[in-house]
Amino acid sequence: MNAPESSSSFILDEDSGERKIVYTADTKVTNAGTFRLNKEDHTVGNLLRMQLLRDTSVRFTGYIHPHPLVHFLDLKVQTNSSNISPIEVLSNAIEDLGSETDHLTTQVTEAIDKWRKENEDVLGN
What is the pLDDT at residue 15?
83
Give the domain ranges of the chain: 12-119
The separation between CA 90 and the C-alpha centre of its own chain, rounded to angstroms, equals 9
Q: Is beta strand 21-25 parallel, antiparallel or unpaired with respect to 72-79? A: unpaired
What value does the mean pLDDT take over residues 94-102?
A: 97
**Nearest-angstrom CA–CA distance, 112 and 47:** 26
Instruction: Provide the pLDDT confidence category of residue 98 given band limits of 50, 70 and 90.
Output: very high
What superfamily would CATH give domain 12-119?
RNA polymerase, RBP11-like subunit (3.30.1360.10)
* Tens digits of residue pLDDT in 48-94: 999 999 999 999 999 999 998 889 999 999 999 889 999 999 999 99
Alpha helices in 1-125 (DSSP H): 42-54, 86-118, 120-123
Distance CA 24, CA 44 (A): 19
Instruction: Please provide the DSSP assignment of 42-65 as one string.
Output: HHHHHHHHHHHHH-TTEEEEEEE-
Closest CA to 10 of 34, 43, 32: 43
- What are the tens digits of pLDDT across the range 11-37? 888 888 889 999 999 999 999 999 999
* pLDDT score at 69: 85
Per-residue confidence (pLDDT) for residue 82, from 0 to 100: 87
What residues form DSSP beta bridges with 64?
74
